[in-house]
Structure 1
């Protein structure tokens, strides 16, 4: 293309100086912005024919929204408009346009009238899930949106602050409302944080009857696996039954985090005095595992709870009613014998127990303190008031301390027995007694009572007061038993003996080490000491100090009779020393041997005798042992004997034995060959010859042979080892 495109000439003579130049034109246009365009808006001219990569950029100003490209050579071009944000480093356009680019074919003439119109403002949205939404624009209108999963851009057509709302979303992105300011359109990141769980409750109208009203809504508790209430929802009535054969429907929903394991429990919280609805099952377990829309919660079925009505005759209020499950219930989580519900009767003697789950049967129990209640029907009971005996014991003496506890023995008809102890002060009440004849007797060592016993006739619901007067006839010895450190010792037996009158009393120490010997007769001398019983007999205590105390009982208690007991040591020590002939020469050859008495074949310890001839062994077992000296000398040349001593370390953990003695002899005897006697042999031969010749002399021969045999037989002596046993305690 050239400029000018043509020149008209009239040729009359040679014409020189006609020039054509390559065409260069101007491209002009304008940008229409929602607000002031400013320098952030740029218009770019790009060549498209591939001849060159020519590019020109023009930025607008705050004063003008027009643009112009000069000296543009002919060719095909694309003109683009963009708005840049100094905050955004990506270089992406932050405005949206009716047309963001236009293609032009530049010739020899200028191009004008190119217009770019801003449509709105780009907002980048990245979402983890697809969701329906709408925008509330500054002018009050709203625009429906469909946000897809992933990254996308939304064009906001009006400047100002927009509100983004989600429509019926089953996924929560942390907030149901987002505000977007076109003056600072920051990227929006939508990440699903919670998931919507929805459920339904179907209430059977057949169970309600005509007098019961439906609740407007039903609260539903949301619990964790440990039973802690996390949140709650409200199930609202969405449809009513057309007739009595249909159910009404309540719906509820709640947000939950991914991975949660939840328990939903509906409750009828009405307190208007009417009957309540129970739900089957009692609870539903839900796990939030999948990403996205969750499956509906399994529905609940609701129906009016079971109510048990009964009465008590004669009418009594505050009779305690207990409802017990007869079998296991899956709905109520009850086992056989579990308590399902408790209530009480009113002033008219009537009761209503409920609501109860109707999948099992129940047993009714009734009770009231001071009354005998027995069933007379499935849900009705009869009551009979018990009788009472009030017992008061007074002392005939002035006492600084409260009267001690007294054993009361009450017997009645049909083998009735009741042994009870009064409190301090001598008062007691026998309750829950049926009408009849009774016999009451008080018992307390050291006291005589007037009267000794009392016969009582009781009517139905009658209360009788019985008074006894006590007289002191014997007295007590009081003290403590402690260790040397002052620590109290429990379980030690202390006894009091009056041998002259053959009186004997004993008592044991309590946790504070105190004891009280009751029943000591006046004007009597007693020897009081720690007896070998209880702890003392189990060998933990070795002895007591003092060994005994002699007291003469007058007409008052004797106090301050204290004893100190000594414990046996925990470590066993067995010691001893050895004496005997040639002890210095034999010391290195003597051994001390200790065996178990219960198993003599088991050697517990064996060791050489020390040079001092004194030995000591510690930490042997607390049992009986056998102690003996042994010799290391050859038994063929020396004969060594020592006594065996039995030691009881169970009774006496530390024992010294001695002196231990021994006997030793050198074996110097030698066997000598002795010729056999000839004369008895000659006599024997003669007798045999005579026997052969004279058979009648057979008896004489046998007698002679017996005599010869007796004279030639060597007598043997049994040697028994003498074992000397010493018991050491």
Structure 2
């Protein structure tokens, strides 16, 4: 009964509804900017390993395609275009899971048509078969750049994705020039070539001229052809095209002909020479440098080069040999114009060599081109330093007869002078350079001359007096003399003499001021300060004189020092610098006014207006700074002070009298602050003259209205408030919108600019619209750009996200209105009503044409699950898909009028007609019928394990055999219940069912195959059911059982260890035997690895003779059984045997005598002793001896044996004979049951 129930459940699980009937559509468009035939483009769905699943064509009306997918899995959606057609992309990789993939999410998978191919060629001038690589080719159409590529090494190039039309290709390169850079073509087929090639004029020849591996500049390199028969070729681009002169022709080697000369160039700062645009051919390079001032010999003297279709770089540079060159002696090198030194004796390496001429020139001949020479000059009035000159050809090349880069100049130049004074002490003359980096001194006897040598430059000579001379009043004049010897000529008469000075001065006041004048002080350069007494007069005067004589020459500072009491005057200068080094001086201090001090207690801008209170008197305005301000008033008298600011002060006016003490400043303390309100509009509005604003004081619970007055496009007003008061200001209007709609302000005493409130006013926007013909009760939604705090309902409009702002309904006339609205934000209006479609009029953004929607009813009888694709090319609806149910009908509603394409799709069925092109009118309700015919059938089955557990995700293939070998292979994947459906099997065909592993599914790695293997099914005119397949799986573990053949007393001392052959150091398992010879190990992986079983015993090899055996095996079977033989034997010793025999004979003799005479007494005792020895004594002795012997060394030996498994397979093991030549046999006993080892 139970078996019958299980069989019934298994059979019941098979049925037509076992597979998921949900169909997923993968679709998109074939897109093209040019007109193409969409129907010739096929789209195919294949598996990851290339097995076709479904092939379809694009809709002819708009290129849309749709492929039904019946099973989840990984696929490739592949495009199959006609030959020569180019698309991007060419395929999509899909992982259809029914949730997150592009097909389930209804995304379009589009293929974009790119075009055809276009080829051409780049040649070198003078060549007909070859060309260069790396040329940039740019494709144009109507002066519009389309694409860019580079030529291949053989000169060919190719463009892809080109549509038919007229094209131009232009060649370019970063330094190559072209003889022909443009070519044209009329592309009218799938692939074509440019008839005229792009021609490169030539290539560059590049090399270097060096001196000791350093670049050599300005060297002429001449280019010659090897033959004069190539005059038809163009000339390279050279730095110099001048022909050879007579001298150059005479210098040519005999192997080079002057008529083969092409052009010349000159090496640059890197020592490189370059010939650009050189046609292909054979050439000779010749370096040349010979002038009257410098001659250079080069190694090698010439080079031969061959130019092909690329630039040529000369690897080996030209190097220099010997040279001859000029030098020159000048007074100084610090001047732009060098003054020559004649008659300078020149020494080279310590030996007199030559003398400079009137131009300071000398010539060095036959000098090696490398290394250094020592050069020195001698001339009266000058000191020359020996020059170690490193020969640098780059400094010598290009120098003419009258100039040179080897320049000798004196290191030092002579300067003389005299000191004239009455002192008897030596005087010190100090001289420093212009930068005062070095200070030098020389002691000079009074009234005598001195001489020093200095390096060319500008110096300052000055006397340096001792303390004794300063105290005695001695001063030498001038204090310093600037001496310029940078021109390099000796200078004399730098003289110093003794001097004294006198100072006179006057103080001019506006009025009589001799009683209030500040103190006058004289400060020397050394920091010594003395008071200067004023010359007093008995009458009033505004001029006070002073005088100071007997002053040492030098620089002084004369200052008016004010005290707090008399600091009331303004002076043109309060301190005057005076120089008494060379003469007596007269100075003058001039009063300019009277001081006014104010103290401003704010950082805001304040303008102080100053009025003198008398007719035709002084009036002035000044900006005050925060804190103390000093103002100079030009006249004596009473002044009126009026502050003007964004603040009100404690007094409106202040008064100041110049006769009062200036130490008391006028304090300006603000009391209230002016608050400004502005409203700005974008344009002038003559209709609004004032703007009322409501001003609230929340703390005082008061409010008032301020009328702003119009000023062009803005309205302004202000009010006064105290510091820290807080107000909220609200502008009001029925037709204006304000940003912000209100503003709060706290009155600041620190900055008037912050006491401003500004609003931006914009006229409210009104949006009015309607539908034609009128449609009442249509929902109208107004969207605008996303703003924080607004609702999250949004749509995408021209790439911008816009959120729902307002909603309304059309009235009976189909009209609606929104407003007033802010005109600073974009708006978008949409209209919806069930059964209608609205399209925006081109003449208005807010008026819509209304159309009642149509419908198409599709009827397909006798079959359900038909996948339907509806697409249109004349309206905004791209496509719709649906699947028929058991009714066989699908209704496509809410369709606009236009052209539609309808196509049914279902594997195993053929439809008549195959598709339908429909012209749908507004509001029409159309019925379309399709006839269906079954042309293929399905095979339903299930895959389970041997114990009937369903297998999920397995791929089962149906492969045609016999006469149906050419039939397309069909595949299916098992669902969660292990069930599968193989579709589109052709009637009259036989198929072989086989399992195909899925490498991406790790769970399938355990599955070997299915049973029965290669099951054959035959398809007739109906579906096939109840195919049951079973999986066979790879084993994962191996069991190990061991039997040990030995005596019972040795069992509990034996251990068996399991090692991996790659890890012999440590066992992975160890089993200790107890009282049973059977044991088994924990399961090991079925991994085909090699392992070792080793039997170990603690018995001492000095007492016993035995072998410790081991077995090597491979874990490639599920059950492994092994047998060990362990037979230890006691060792025999000859000496001990004889001794033991003597004692034994003696004891036996005594026992026989005792038995004869005391038979009745001894016999019971012997019986008792025999029982004790046999049952107790001997076992204990054996056990103790084994324990003592366990500490001894155990010898490891291998034993050869045999093992057998439960499957009776034989494996080879290693056997080693024991010392007694007895083989240890490993038995095969599969009937014995192993016992679990501890």
Smaller-chain TM-score range?
A: 0.3 to 0.5
After TM superposition, the score normalised by the length of structure 1 is 0.37
Higher relative contact order (CA 8 A, sep 6+): 1
